[in-house]
Amino acid sequence: MTDRYAVIGNPIAFSKSPLIHSSFAQATGQDLDYSKIEGPLGQFAATVDAFRAQGGRGLNITAPFKLDAFAYATEHSPAAQLAGAANAMKFDGERVLAENFDGVGLVRDVVHNLAQPLRGKRVLVLGAGGAARGALLPFLAEQPTELVIANRSLDKAQDLARIGTAQGPVRACSLQDLQGRHFDLVFNATSASLRAELPTVPVSVFAECALAYELAYGKGLTPFLRLAQGAGVPQLADGVGMLAEQAAEAFAWWRGVRPQTRAVIERLTVPLV
């Protein structure tokens, strides 16, 4: 019997998840059907209930439902607890398990696919929302020299930094406080690129930077990446690798086998021009 999985979001037409998971299933010999669900706003629980009643085994969750998924679940992984949000769920009878693979997917893309170690490096994360929360502990587990979280709202950055203090050298600052600071790796986890806007970041942060990473994907050379390119950063990347790697983590969680990601990443990559 074919097992059913899906991604739920609103809007959802843009999602590459069905392509990714269908490719993974074919490569690993797994019998599953993976579809898109455009969930009506305000009706997340009812939509998921209906999917489960039809035999659904698991869901990926994208905007704007990650908080709804966290609230819906009966059990949460440490990563989901930290983020306060879920990007994957697994159904086991009455149990609903919630996970958040965004952070581990990002780290795997950076360290393994892009060959940029985080250990011993000065790392800057712009933004303190859900994406930054998901990345916090996976980043600190790689043992950077320092991890700086810079956000327009300093209070929000400070709240996030306090969560990671026991795990490693993390601190918060405002975007204005970055002037004159240099970093080895810079990550844009703000929503600015979704609006084709440039986050308020001084060009000085790129002076010694080896990698500028845009968590948004499929946008080409965003204003953030264009600024980094102009500053001479030798390696630019967007979030397509993160997308594929977090999908592979979810697939392995559901099916017990982790697929290779290289072919999917190559297929989905949009040239940064």
pLDDT of residue 253: 98
Q: Is residue 167 part of a domain?
A: yes
My answer on whether 222 and 197 are in the same domain is yes
Q: Evaluate if residue 1 carries a pLDDT over 80.
A: no
pLDDT bracket for residue 145 (50, 70, 90) = very high
Sheet harboring 170-174: ordered strands across?
170-174, 146-151, 122-126, 185-188, 211-214, 235-237
Under 8 Å between Cβ of 58 and 217: no
Q: Could you report the per-residue pLDDT of 111-120, keeping only the tens digit for each?
A: 999 999 999 9
Q: Is residue 253 part of a domain?
A: no
For residue 58, the surrounding DSSP H or E stretch is: strand 56-61
Mean pLDDT of 27-46: 97
Tokens 């102009």 — which residue? 230
- Number of folded domains that form the chain: 2
Q: State the amino acid at position 194 in one-letter form.
A: L
pLDDT of residue 20: 97
My answer on whether 159 and 45 are in the same domain is no
Q: Is residue 256 part of a domain?
A: no
My answer on whether 17 and 86 are in the same domain is yes
Domain with residue 195: its CATH number is: 3.40.50.720
My answer on whether 36 and 128 are in the same domain is no
Instruction: Return the axis-axis angle of helices 240-255 and 17-28, rounded to nearest 10°.
Output: 50
Distance CA 261, CA 177 (A): 38
For residue 52, the surrounding DSSP H or E stretch is: helix 44-53
pLDDT bracket for residue 191 (50, 70, 90) = confident
90 classed as catalytic: no
Highest average pLDDT, of 70-84, 161-175, 233-247, comes from 233-247
pLDDT of residue 161: 94
Domain with 69 in it: 3-100
pLDDT bracket for residue 89 (50, 70, 90) = very high
Q: Is residue 134 part of a domain?
A: yes
Tell me the average pLDDT of the chain.
95
What percentage of residues in the chain have a pLDDT greater than 70? 100
> Among residues 66, 90, 121, 156, which one is catalytic?
66
My answer on whether 217 and 113 are in the same domain is yes
Domain with residue 42: its CATH number is: 3.40.50.10860
Q: Is residue 262 part of a domain?
A: no
Mean pLDDT of 218-238: 96
pLDDT bracket for residue 11 (50, 70, 90) = very high
> Higher confidence at residue 246 or residue 218?
246
My answer on whether 126 and 209 are in the same domain is yes
Q: Evaluate if residue 270 carries a pLDDT over 80.
A: yes
Q: Is residue 48 part of a domain?
A: yes
pLDDT of residue 14: 87
Q: Is residue 46 part of a domain?
A: yes
My answer on whether 148 and 184 are in the same domain is yes
What number of other Cβ atoms are within 10 A of residue 30's Cβ?
A: 17
Report the predicted TM-score, pTM, of the whole model to 2 decimal places: 0.93
pLDDT of residue 273: 79
End-to-end, the C-alpha distance of the chain in Å comes to 45
Q: Is residue 17 part of a domain?
A: yes
Distance CA 185, CA 126 (A): 11
